[in-house]
Amino acid sequence: MKCICGNKEFHAHQKCRLDIICDGSGNWLKDSPNDKSACYDAEDPYGPFTCTKCKIEYEELVKCPDCDVVIPNKTKIGLTCKGCGHIFI
Ligand SMILES: [Zn+2]
Ligand SMILES: [Zn+2]
């Protein structure tokens, strides 16, 4: 999938678990100094997704049924795909 500008990379969010240093009460003190295990067990990226080039924001990465362009899912009805001209009804 790609943005209408042709770019295929998006800023997104991802939850992951961090190795940290805590005190004896289980309260966070600082991030673990060990870079190698800094972030692991990451979940799937979630939106909003923002194109890294033209900065268009997408709630979800939903593909046009006729081409490879991502469509802004909230305004789907009445929208014309800028990649192939597909009209959403
Ligand atoms: Zn773009
Ligand atoms: Zn299309």
Mean pLDDT by 10 residues, the chain (89 residues): 94 89 93 72 89 93 91 76 89
pLDDT at site 49: 94
pLDDT at site 38: 65
Residue whose token pair is 């999938």: 1
Separation between Cα atoms, residue 49 and residue 57, nearest integer Å: 6
Q: How far is the CA of 78 from the centre of ligand 2 (A)?
A: 13
Separation between Cα atoms, residue 28 and residue 50, nearest integer Å: 31
User: Do 47 and 10 form a contact (C-beta atoms < 8 A)?
Assistant: no
Ordered by start, the domain boundaries in the chain are 10-58
Q: How far is the CA of 71 from the centre of ligand 2 (A)?
A: 8
Say how far residue 19 (Cα) sits from the centre of its chain: 23
User: Does the predicted TM-score (pTM) go above 0.85?
Assistant: no
Write the DSSP symbol of residue 2.
B
Phi, psi angle pair for 32, to nearest 5°: -60, 135
